[in-house]
Amino acid sequence: MIMTKLTIFLYCFLLTILSINSQQLQWILLSDGSSGDTPMPRRDAALGFDSTFLILYGGRDQSGMPRQDSYAFNILQGYWEPLNFPNAPSSRYGMASASSIGSGLYIFGGFGMQGSSQFYNPYTAYGQSGLVSYKQNPAGSDKQKPKTMNKRDAAAMNKQNPGVMSKQNPGVMNKQNFNQMNPMGHNNYNDNDDRADENFHALPDSWFLSYLTKSWQQTQTSQQGRGFGSAAATPYSSGLPRIIYSMGKSRDWMYSTVESAGQVTSGYNPIGAGQAATIMYDLSSYSPSYPHARYGHSTTLLTDNHLLLFGGCLSGYGKGGPCPSKDSWLLQIDRGHWERLGECPTTKTGAAMVTLPSYSVCSSIGQGIFGGWSGGGGMGNEPPVAVLWGGREFNPSSIRSYLSPNDEVAVFSLSQKEWHLKKARPSSDGGFPMQREGAAYVAGCFQGAPGMFVYGGRSVNDRRLLLSDLWFLQASSQDALSSPNSRGCIYPFSYYHLHGIFQFFTYGVIFPIGYLVGRHAINLSARRPLHMGLQLFGVALAICGFSFGVHSVRAAAWLHFKHAHAIIGIITFILTIIQFCAGLVGAIFLSMHNKKNASFSETDHKYHPKVDHSDTWGGEGVWRIGHRILGLLILALGFVNISLGVFLAVLPLPVWIIWYIYFGFLVLLIIGLEIVALLRRSPSGKSGSYTRTELREDPKGTSQSSLKYSDEPTERHQTIVTHKPRQGATRPPPPEPSRRDTSLPRHGGGTNGDDMAPLILNQRQPRPGDVTSSATLPQYPRPNEREYPAPIRKRSGPSESSGFDYYVGYAPEHEQPLPYVQYFIIIFCSCYKLMLKSTIVSFALMLCLFDA
């Protein structure tokens, strides 16, 4: 009994010790890259795991050229050796790769030369590939004199990477870490991936290296050749694994296509010749229900039916979005449904992400038994867990990126559907792997422990430095979840976010308020300065927001300004500048000219001048109408572009809901106010500009100037008269002033659109015995006369004027316009055309500068 208890105690004690030692992620350095058998430093290569070997294929070397060589790393012996395959894939880099334990290594696409022969000559490829010019120096230019480094650059590099520079000679790097620069500059020096990729072709083929036969075979091809996509395979399968490869870019476009091959359910094609089965086609980036097109992202199969996607670059190549990104998605393959996950790790492109194997899988490798997912189940008794490490976390558009510490590893749990940031322990010498992008990685086992292998890549601190070291991150599912936390979730900030904030406040807040004030606040005393101040402030914000948007673009201008958001943004910005200049011209030359129109009003049989102060600060006639229409057009384009930008920014769902509620409120408010403005307009159809009239008071109430014509008779206007029909369809010309009947007084008209203007001042004076309008006479029935309601007279021709000139014999058609108005219109039109041409030329120069 005592021995049994002692045995149980010792067993529990040993389990406790083992669990303590394995409750953290552990980095192990397998090769520092200093030995002579180490492959050439490279990035964007493919790495596979075959029991006790690592298989390295392809990639991009220091010169920027794609490679075709293959190497094997003996895990038990710890050395590299070159491999020769009779039918290997063509040289390439940036291919999507995935490895399945017990099955093989799968690669798809990438950038490379046209041709698959191992004797392929890169010099003659420039002519065969149809390139019109040498974007960079041809192959072999690395024999030229290398570019040296001055002391200032050496000091800066030594500050970023302590220990890299030699203490004896600050301008020379240590041998094991430094790779001689190639002056041809395929991005390793010029830091321009997009320009380097223009020299090569995006390949559409896919290849499979069988670990059983030790040979390559070409499998399916895709409809679009693309590179820097991502592939994921069923990690543990004794046969053909299921393979999912997603998205990527070509030389001029970016795709959201997701395709499947290998083990399939109903509806998918088996592996072999022909086209791959499509899970998701190339869709637009204006929907929140699926991940948008991208490249440089990371994917892994958590189960046979769950694909995890993280990060990448969504900018350029005909699409838009943040670069780098931090959104996470989970695909249920059988349903084709994408689920948006919570965001926690910082932004990344070119990161390493794998699903961790279990201890049971690693123990069965030597026996040729691969349990786990070949039947669609989970990893034994352990829940599926993925680890994410490395990648580029910032670019020139980043303002605050919160770089990951050296010991941080992101962990995702499928059961919890959450990300966690964990700490990893250093290697035995106390070091951590250098943060890098474009590393070759694969899930596997080392000395019976599961984890992830990482080889090579490019340093994110010194982007001219390619690496050739090999590391192993030892971790199982339980180890990863039980490791201590590193920090909370990260929310970086960049010029891309700043662009969205500025443009939202410009076209979503400032300009709408300015429009409502200038268009509808006609009784507001501070209308003019408030409108001008708001629009001036909005233009300043628009210029800043446009600048931030251009700066946040990672790709070249000709690659970026190809989608709807970018095109509408440029058009809206140009119209905004034109509207601002037009409004400024109107404010300077027209707003200071308040028209004073003199007319006459009748008060107690005496006539006095009436002065109209018309508020024409926004322009007159066509000018005012054009200013309003252009303002509405800018508002509409701004609303549309903000809506598109909300989708491209990959914002959370609550942000979309808030914006569209606010957008609907603004649209309804503007439409409602426009309807009210139309209902308040005068029947004559004149503009509803505010007119202030100074009129003398009429204490006796005898003034008739307030009487106006209307389209239909009212009770106030209805009078019993004897109708006398007109002689013809057209009204005869007015009589001469000497023959005009002045016996009856006429009602004062003014500028109300009628033809009842006041009489001239030399009319006959009243005489004793005259019957006035105030006399009261008895009414006698007249049976021989018919009673007609007095019709409302309207002007029947241009000879009838609403002004005073009609009664003095001066018809309006004989009136000549003021000369300076015509001259001003001609000068303004010329300036407007010149400004439009200057804007177009400036925009063309700006595109040339971006392209350069």
Same fold, 21-116+179-482 and 494-692: no
In this predicted structure, the answer to whether residue 847 has a pLDDT above a threshold of 70 is no
Spans of all domains in the chain:
21-116+179-482, 494-692
pLDDT of residue 178: 33
Superfamily of domain 21-116+179-482: Kelch-type beta propeller (2.120.10.80)
| pLDDT above 70: percentage of residues in the chain | 59
The DSSP element (H or E) to which 759 belongs, if any, is none
Upper half-sphere CA count for residue 53 (Cβ side, 13 Å)? 17
User: Angle at the Cα of 51 (from 48 to 52), degrees rounded to 5?
Assistant: 95
Q: Which of 511, 524, 474, 793 is nearest to 639 (CA)?
A: 511
Contact 242, 301 (CB under 8 A): yes
Say if CB 737 and CB 808 are below 8 A apart: yes
Q: Is the pLDDT of residue 848 over 90?
A: no
User: Does 838 have pLDDT greater than 50?
Assistant: yes
Instruction: Compare 847 and 91 and report the one with higher pLDDT.
Output: 91
Using omega within 30 degrees of 0 as the cis cutoff, is the peptide bond preceding 324 cis? yes
- pLDDT tens readout for residues 489-515: 888 888 888 899 999 999 999 999 988
What digits encode the pLDDT tens for the residues 575-597?
A: 999 998 888 877 777 655 554 44
32 or 522, greater pLDDT? 32
pLDDT tens-digit profile of 509-522? 999 998 888 888 87
Which segment of 166-175, 397-406, 434-443 scores lowest on mean pLDDT? 166-175
E-state strands within 730-847: 788-789
Q: Which residue has the higher pLDDT, 808 or 302?
A: 302
The mean-pLDDT minimum among 347-356, 397-406, 564-573, 667-676 falls in 397-406
pLDDT band (50, 70, 90) for residue 173: very low
Q: Is 175 exposed, middle or buried (0-12, 13-18, 19+ CB in 10 A)?
A: exposed
374: pLDDT strictly greater than 50:
no
- The segment with the largest mean pLDDT, out of 112-116, 187-191, 532-536, 725-729, is 532-536
Predicted pLDDT at 3: 57
Give DSSP secondary structure letters for 217-285.
EEEEE-SS--BS-EEEE-SB-SSPPPEEEEEEE-SS-EEEEEEEESS--TT-PPSSSSBPEEEE----S
Instruction: Please determine, for residue 87, whether its predicted confidence score (pLDDT) is greater than 90.
Output: no
Closest by CA to 615, choosing from 626, 605, 624, is 624
Write out pLDDT tens, residues 188-221. 444 566 677 778 889 988 899 988 888 898 887 7
How far apart, in whole angstroms, are the C-alpha atoms of residue 631 and residue 834? 21
Tell me the residue length of the chain: 852
Q: What is the pLDDT of residue 825?
A: 61
What distance in Å separates the CA atoms of residue 45 and residue 59, rounded to the nearest whole number? Answer: 4
Q: What is the mean pLDDT of residues 102-124?
A: 67
839 sits in which H/E element: helix 819-851
Q: What is the residue-wise DSSP string for 638-691?
A: HHHHHHHHHHHTT--HHHHHHHHHHHHHHHHHHHHHHHHHHHHS-TT------E
In DSSP terms, 93 is beta-bridged to 111
Helices and strands (DSSP H and E) totals, the chain? 14, 35
Mean pLDDT of 810-815: 48
Q: What is the mean pLDDT of the chain?
A: 72
What pLDDT sits at residue 529? 84
Q: Is 103 helix (H, G, I), strand (E, B) or coil?
A: coil
Q: Please check the confidence at residue 30 and state whether its pLDDT lies above 90.
A: yes
pLDDT above 80: residue 411: yes
The token pair at 805 is 């000139």
Half-sphere exposure of 737 (CA within 13 A, CB side): 11
Q: How far apart are CA 599 and CA 130, in angstroms?
A: 79
Pairing type for strands 449-459 and 493-494 reads unpaired
Check pLDDT > 60 for residue 162: no
Q: Please check the confidence at residue 321 and state whether its pLDDT lies above 60.
A: yes
* pLDDT tens track for 635-653: 999 999 999 988 888 888 8
* Overall average pLDDT of the 679-705 stretch: 53
The backbone region for 793, taken as left when phi is positive above 0, alpha when psi lies in -120 to 50, beta otherwise, is: beta
When mean pLDDT is compared across 223-237, 629-643, 768-782, the lowest value belongs to: 768-782
HEC-encoded secondary structure of 440-476: EEEEEEECCEEEEEEEEEEECCCCCCEEEEEEEEECC
pLDDT bin (cut points 50, 70, 90) of residue 765 is low
Q: What local confidence, expressed as pLDDT, does residue 604 receive? A: 46
Q: Is residue 429 packed enough to be buried (19+ CB in 10 Å), middle (13-18) or exposed (0-12)?
A: exposed
Whether 143 has a pLDDT exceeding 60, the answer reads no
**pLDDT, tens digit, for every residue of 445-499?**
998 899 999 999 999 888 889 999 999 999 888 888 888 998 888 888 888 888 9
Give CA–CA dist 763/786, Å, rounded: 32
Report whether pLDDT(373) > 50: no
Whole-prediction pTM:
0.67
Residue 673 pLDDT: 87
Question: Residue 43's beta-bridge partner residues?
Answer: 60
Torsion region of 809: left, alpha or beta (phi above 0 gives left; psi -120 to 50 gives alpha): left
117 has a pLDDT exceeding 60? no
For the chain, the C-alpha Rg in angstroms (whole number) is 41
Q: 235-249, 526-540, 656-670 — which is least confidently predicted?
A: 235-249
CA proximity to 459, closest of 157, 663, 748: 157
DSSP 574: H
For the ranges 137-141, 273-277, 411-415, 721-725, the maximum mean pLDDT occurs at 411-415
Q: How many angstroms from the chain centroid is the CA of residue 202?
A: 25
Task: Calculate the alpha carbon distances from 811 to 514, 802, 808 in Å.
Answer: 42, 10, 9
Position 424 confidence tier, pLDDT thresholds 50, 70, 90: very high
Query: Confidence class of residue 150 from pLDDT cuts 50, 70 and 90?
Result: very low
Q: 438 φ, ψ to 5°?
A: 70, 25
What's the pLDDT band for 818 if we cut at 50, 70, 90? very low
Burial zone of 614 (CB within 10 Å; 0-12 exposed, 13-18 middle, 19+ buried): middle
CA dist., res. 305 & res. 268, Å (int): 13
Q: Give 730-746 pLDDT, tens digit per residue.
A: 455 555 555 545 554 54
- Tokens 């690395």 found at: 142
The per-residue pLDDT for 111 is 93
User: What does the DSSP 8-state code read for residue 151?
Assistant: H
Cα 767 to chain centroid, rounded = 84
Q: Give 266-291 pLDDT, tens digit per residue.
A: 333 334 444 567 888 888 888 888 99
* CB neighbour class for 241 (10 Å; exposed up to 12, middle 13-18, buried from 19): buried
**Residue that the structure tokens 């041409």 belong to:** 837
Span 494-692: which CATH code?
1.20.120.1770
